Amino acid sequence: MYFLYIVTAFALLLSFVASRKKTLKAIKIAVKKFVNILPAFLTMLILVSVALFFVPDKVISNYLGSNNKFFGMIFASFFGSITLMPGFIAFPLCGILLKKGVPYMVLSAFTTTLMMVGILTYPIEKEYFGRKVTVIRNVISLFIALIVALITGFFFGEVF
Amino acid sequence: MKQNSIIKIVGISAYIVFILFSFINGFEPGKRIGENFITFSKGMLGVLPCAFILIGLFEVWVKRETVEKHFGEEAGIKRYVWAVLLAGTTVGGLYVAFPVAYSLYNKGAKLSFIFAYIGASAICRVPMTIFEASFMGIKFTAIRLLVSLPLVIISSILLGDYLEKRNYKIMKGK
């Protein structure tokens, strides 16, 4: 995180030394783009806050620990798709579930869909790339996540 | 479009009123939703201003030819290496990758590059990957990366070529 601030400050400084005019223009572009996308971000944040209320960690843990591995995997990819969690919450949660005996393939389905499939980021993605591309990208990502989960299960000896 | 934005404004206002009402009257579920909102806003507001300033600097300083050369038609297979490297250093998550990808596209990057970049920045951001490996083990993370990354690149090439053949142009908000 601090790294990002340092890089940004350094880049701004460098740019400012090179050309004040261009730097001001860059900041103007930044502000304009940020303001334009703000409503979409707000929508996403509202969706996230509501989704996390209805699907808290505990619910996810319960479903992921289901007896059938394949059902677990399907549930996991469902929850991974409809929620949005930063890594510092998701991975410790998965670490705990792993110790509780949840199979690797279920956790793989959960983390990979969490990263790649974004139903909650839909408002933002649509704003930039349009509805069609957004839907296609997310469907492809879901399939990739399922393939990854199955192969993970295979390598950890959970499939057979 | 106009009707849509009216619905949006009404929805957002209703949400704000609901949260305020919940805090004043001590309505627990509403308070929890409000707290979720604040937690996530904080996380994103820490990243977004920097991301957009860097995007602004990129738009002003980087020439179209440079983008075309490395991320466009003439770059060949090399552009996917770039996509992964660039994605590895992206901070935040998809919500940062989208505006970055959009700027790259407007400067002449190929569609397949854009998809590869977005996909890769979902799965192989360096700090996140290290964090994952420390909780799940290196084997888990290695399998995930080695399987998902090629799939992301292959599907990006297929999707990009398919859309380009149909002369698909990305237009903001369409």
Write down the ipTM of this complex: 0.88
Residue type, B117: Y
Tokens in use for B46? Answer: 């820490």
State yes or no: pLDDT of B102 exceeds 70.
Answer: yes
With contact defined as beta carbons under 8 Å apart, do B117 and B104 qualify? yes
pLDDT tens sequence across A144-160: 999 999 999 999 998 86
A154 chain-B contacts, CB cut-off 8 A? none
Helix H or strand E segment including A25: helix A20-54
- The one-character DSSP state at A137 is H
In a domain, A28, yes or no: no
In a domain, A114, yes or no: yes
State yes or no: pLDDT of A21 exceeds 90.
Answer: yes
State yes or no: pLDDT of A70 exceeds 50.
Answer: yes
In a domain, A145, yes or no: yes
Q: Quote the CA–CA distance of A121 and A140 in Å, as a whole number.
A: 16
Distance from CA of B78 to the nearest CA of A (A): 22
In a domain, A59, yes or no: yes
What integer is the mean pLDDT of B87-92? 88
The angle formed by the CA atoms of residues B54, B58 and B64, to the nearest 5 degrees, is 165
Distance from CA of A63 to the nearest CA of B (A): 19
State yes or no: pLDDT of A109 exceeds 70.
Answer: yes
CB atoms within 10 A of CB B63: 10
Q: Quote the CA–CA distance of A117 and A95 in Å, as a whole number.
A: 21
State yes or no: pLDDT of B33 exceeds 90.
Answer: yes
pLDDT value at residue A75: 92
What integer is the mean pLDDT of B19-38? 92
State yes or no: pLDDT of A16 exceeds 80.
Answer: yes
pLDDT value at residue B85: 93
pLDDT value at residue B174: 44
State yes or no: pLDDT of A1 exceeds 70.
Answer: no
Nearest C-alpha in A relative to B11: A43
Q: Quote the CA–CA distance of B111 and B119 in Å, as a whole number.
A: 12
**A145:B148 CB<8 A:** yes
Q: Quote the CA–CA distance of B73 and B109 in Å, as a whole number.
A: 8
Inter-axis angle of helices B28-61 and A20-54, to 10 degrees?
150
- Percent of chain B topping pLDDT 90: 61
Using CB atoms, pick whichever of B8, B59, B98 lies closest to residue A29.
B59
Domain count of chain A?
A: 1
State yes or no: pLDDT of B1 exceeds 60.
Answer: no
Tokens in use for A63? Answer: 């479903």
In a domain, A85, yes or no: yes
Residue type, A86: P
Nearest to B50 by CA among A48, A6, A118: A6
In a domain, A50, yes or no: no
In sequence order, which residues have a C-beta less than 8 Å from that of residue A160 and are 6 or more positions away?
A: A154
With contact defined as beta carbons under 8 Å apart, do B123 and A131 qualify? no
In sequence order, which residues have a C-beta less than 8 Å from that of residue B148 and are 6 or more positions away?
A: A112, A116, A144, A145, A148, B123
In a domain, A69, yes or no: yes
pLDDT value at residue B2: 66
In sequence order, which residues have a C-beta less than 8 Å from that of residue A63 and are 6 or more positions away?
A: A72, A75, A76, A79
Structural domain harbouring A127: 55-155
